[in-house]
Amino acid sequence: MTSRLALHDAHVAAGATVEPVCGWETPLTYGDAAAEYRAVRAAAGVIDLGARGLLEVTGRDRGKFLHALLSNEVKGLAPGQGCAAALLDPHGKVQVLVAVWVLEDRILLVTPSGTAAPALEALDRYLFAEKVELRDASGETARLLLAGPEAPALAEHLTGVRPPETVWASVRATLAGAEARLVTGAGETGEREVWVVVPAATGTRAWDAARAAGAHPVGLVALESLRIESGAPRFGHDVDDSVLLPEIPFEHLVSHTKGCYPGQEVVVRIRDRGHVNRLLRGLVLEGDGVPAPGAAVEVDGATVGRVTSATRSIGLDRPIALAFVRRAHGPGARVTVRLGDTAVAATVTALPFLR
């Protein structure tokens, strides 16, 4: 069973090709994925991120509670500040990746698509005597992402409020006659980003206002090219509960000066006394074939890794992939990738692909 985005009709009216992806009817393109990609690289695009979850944490102990569970600093964040963080199990494996937005009277956690309910359940298991309330607020707002060099200026044009400079910081604003919040994104597209969060009832008005101001609608095909080029791992695809946090780019997810949290001992032990055996790397493939998730990465016939995400890069005009590869095969190493019964040559590269 698939769910429809609150702005589904607006996407269809804009010419979107819509197909089920991860349980949601998702706009793939609006007719020209390359044009959508170029808009983000050169100007500004608008992306509907309504499939991502939004958890609300309230109560007197909310900051202390999340600080004790998440891998990054939460307790010291003031209203209007935020961070990215991970919830780990005691073995250092990733349960979910979240963005933390601290507001005046609550804390919001943005979760990957399809993970709001399990993330809420995972947090609730740690709740004992703390004065904290958790709830899923995903359906109450529309969440749009303005992405591109002109995104901050466009957000200011729409609201009269300048977005914060600091990643995951937020500020109140008004858009299309309704209260809004502008949040500076972390650059999963590789460009400047501003989240625009408005009540669900005014989501279509906000979408229309962004388009009227010059933002080009962007679908999943272009977004995946942007995301993979920037080396941003996607939970449920590149990261799941089999992955140790230090196996992915993780420094922005961790505070090394805060107190204990589940999995901290593993993270610190790997940092100070050892290393992981595999790392998330980039692959640039020869030919035109795009490997499927799970495709084997091989050296001399031996499997040394697996593909997690792949696409035909619009910017590089060739297939690229994110893959876990054994540590010994670093940037510059030559490998092969299985495409069905054939093996295609590829080169391991550091992330991001494009800087």
Q: Are residues 150 and 296 in the same domain?
A: no
Which CATH number belongs to the domain containing residue 293 in this structure?
2.40.30.110
Decide which of 245, 276, 307 is a domain's last residue.
276
- The three-state secondary structure class of 43 is coil
Which pLDDT belongs to residue 274? 83
Residues 196 and 286 in one domain: no
Tell me: do 69 and 193 sit in the same domain.
yes
pLDDT tens for 46-101 read 999 999 999 999 999 999 999 999 999 999 999 999 999 999 999 999 999 999 99
Do residue 335 and residue 270 come from a single domain?
A: no
**pLDDT tens digits for 251-306?**
999 999 998 999 999 999 999 988 899 999 999 999 999 999 999 999 999 999 99
301 and 231 part of one domain: no
Question: Sorting pLDDT into bands at 50, 70 and 90, what band is 176?
Answer: confident
Q: Are residues 168 and 187 in the same domain?
A: yes
Same domain, 302 and 239: no
Q: Which of 319, 234, 238 is nearest to 278 (CA)?
A: 238
- pTM attached to this predicted model: 0.96
The verdict on 212 and 291 lying in the same domain is: no
Provide the CATH number for the domain around residue 16: 3.30.1360.120
d(CA 26, CA 6): 11
Domain of 131? 1-276
User: Do residue 246 and residue 301 come from a single domain?
Assistant: no
Q: Which of 30, 16, 32, 24 is nearest to 49 (CA)?
A: 24
pLDDT at 22: 86
Does 355 score more than 80 pLDDT? no
On whether both 70 and 133 belong to a single domain, the answer is yes
Q: What mean pLDDT value characterizes the chain?
A: 97
165 & 267 share domain = yes
Q: Which of 73, 126, 74 is nearest to 95 (CA)?
A: 126
Q: At 316, list the tokens.
A: 């590089």
If one counts every other C-beta atom within 10 angstroms of the C-beta of residue 101, the result is 24
Q: How many domains are there within the chain?
A: 2
In whole angstroms, what is the distance from residue 188 CA to residue 115 CA? 18
Domain's final residue, options 246, 276, 306: 276
In this structure, are 226 and 317 located in the same domain? no
Domain stops at, among 276, 300, 315: 276
The two tokens of residue 94 are 């990733």
